[in-house]
Structure 1
Amino acid sequence: MKRPVLIEHEEIFEALDQRKLTPAMKAKRPENVLPEITNLSGGRKKKAATMYLYDAVSYWTGNDARSFQRMLAQTDAEEIHLHINSPGGSVFEGVTIFNLLADHDADVIVHIDGLAASIASVIALAGDTINIAENGMVMIHNPSVVAWGDATVMRKQAEILDKIRDAIVNTYETRTKLDRAALTTAMDAETWYSADEAILSGFAMHKVSASEATALWVPGDFEGLPAAAMILGKKPADPAPADPPEPENMGTLEDVTAASDFIARIRANHGL
């Protein structure tokens, strides 16, 4: 199903492809990190395919827009299931992935299995249907950049960040239930949404039972992570076993000594 795109993705590809990457830099980039797209069949009314975004959105992790484009070109599925557990990453890679999904003819069903944070929260909104695990979360915040230079350069970077933030807010405003003022405030504060809060705010539509998600990032990657997010993807701890009942007849000191001597002889005989 066609959805509004942010920017024509070919324009972003042109900019991304201008990155000056040496052979050594390219060699460090993992290949095929994103699993091959899995075509599903068997009793389904529509031809379906499954994709996983289970890491940072980045050229350096192999989870980038070009990889997404290649995989989408491999399928003629009428329905795409995208599973997300990601801390976010490159804004422009993520924006392009959003556009690729939004421009695709298939119905896109998003499953937030663990976390959809930062630009991954934008990608999630490309879904016609957005499901979130009952212990999943969504996080939104302002974009950031590492910059070096004089005051002119810093002012220019700040202007660029403002434009990027506005583009992201445009998508949030179109696809969620929050208005622009509320979204800007939430991004300024770096806001974390539980599954119920995500549905109430419009970042998801349906809550589903918890499922374990493989995370290649760690909670410590985020500063000020709420306690609820520290347990994402973890199974509930088993209850502590009850203390065993004390035996009616406790051994004597002589019993303990005899047992110790017996163990010592066994160890000696076996060279332990």
Structure 2
Amino acid sequence: MMSNNFYNSFNPTNEKSALVPMVVEQTSRGERSYDIYSRLLKERIIFLVGPIDDGIASLVCAQLLFLEAENPKKDISMYINSPGGVVTSGLSIYDTMEYIKPDVSTVCIGQAASMGSLLLTAGAKNKRYCLPNARIMTHQPSGGFQGQASDIEIHAKEIINLRSRLNQIYVTHSGKKIAEIEALMDRDTFLSPEDALQKGLIDEVVNKRPDKK
């Protein structure tokens, strides 16, 4: 079963919650403490870490909608370190990124594989970044079904339609032709940041945060 590490880290009954650092700030009303992720959320930074499932997707979508409500004109940064996961969960994040008004800048740290690579690619134009030692992996969706032959055929058609839909999303955001994307997605394809840049999945490989102008 797919684990939900990101959600569990915020669960006060989970032992891992003790590993999340707390930040203490001085305010006019005294001290106020935040877990590190909540503090970064104030800076409009979201983390997408671990396998993508409905629990992760609901958290990320909620944060995107919250930040839009706070300021619909200010960019949001999403840091991605994910092996991928459930396609429909990933698409719910993708649709929310497209739906909200702020630009969502994506940054790959560690890895962006499978649905993680799609969400990385779906970042705002000229605002998709990758750190130098991160890895990107793309492939076509996979699945299995048992049952009557007619039901198996129905599910096979659905996954083929889904593959076509995902390929079109990559085409839209990479600027590449469908034939090139289909070749990229046919098997597990591991890409260096430089390869991902050449394929149009990111806009820049960054070693250091640029100085603010």
Bin for the TM-score computed over the shorter chain: 0.7 to 0.9
Counterparts in 2 of 1:186 and 1:126: CA distance versus 1, 3 Å:
closer
Per-residue deviation, 1:189: 2.0
Per-residue deviation, 1:157: 1.4
**Is the Cα–Cα contact under 8 Å of residues 80 and 109 in structure 1 kept in the other structure?**
yes
Structure 1 partner of 2:183: 185
Q: For 2:140, what is the secondary structure of its paired residue? A: coil
Q: Percent identity?
A: 24
Structure 2 partner of 1:125: 121
Give 1:107's aligned amino acid.
Answer: D
Per-residue deviation, 1:179: 1.3
**Is the Cα–Cα contact under 8 Å of residues 65 and 100 in structure 2 kept in the other structure?**
no
Deviates more, 1:66-75 or 1:200-209: 66-75
Structure 1: gaps spanning 5 or more residues = 1-28, 41-48, 212-272
Separation of aligned partners in 1, 2:61 and 2:201: 24
Structure 2 partner of 1:203: 201
What do residues 209-244 of structure 1 show as CA deviations (whole Å, max 9, x unaligned)? 289xxxxxxxxxxxxxxxxxxxxxxxxxxxxxxxxx
Separation of aligned partners in 2, 1:149 and 1:177: 40
Give 1:57's aligned amino acid.
Answer: I
2:42 to 39, 55, 61: 39
Structure 2 partner of 1:87: 83
Greater fraction of residues in helix: 2
What do residues 157-197 of structure 1 show as CA deviations (whole Å, max 9, x unaligned)? 11011111011011111111421112112211221111000
What do residues 99-145 of structure 1 show as CA deviations (whole Å, max 9, x unaligned)? 11112111211110111111111111231110001111211111111
1:172 aligns with 2:170: yes
1:63 aligns with 2:60: no
CA RMSD, 1 decimal: 2.2
Separation of aligned partners in 2, 1:195 and 1:50: 22
Separation of aligned partners in 2, 1:186 and 1:90: 20
Structure 2 partner of 1:162: 160
**Is the Cα–Cα contact under 8 Å of residues 52 and 84 in structure 2 kept in the other structure?**
yes
Q: For 1:164, what is the secondary structure of its paired residue? A: helix
Give 1:70's aligned amino acid.
Answer: A
Separation of aligned partners in 2, 1:73 and 1:170: 25
Separation of aligned partners in 2, 1:190 and 1:107: 29
Larger Rg: 1
**Is the Cα–Cα contact under 8 Å of residues 134 and 210 in structure 1 kept in the other structure?**
no
Matched residue count: 172
Counterparts in 2 of 1:90 and 1:113: CA distance versus 1, 3 Å:
same
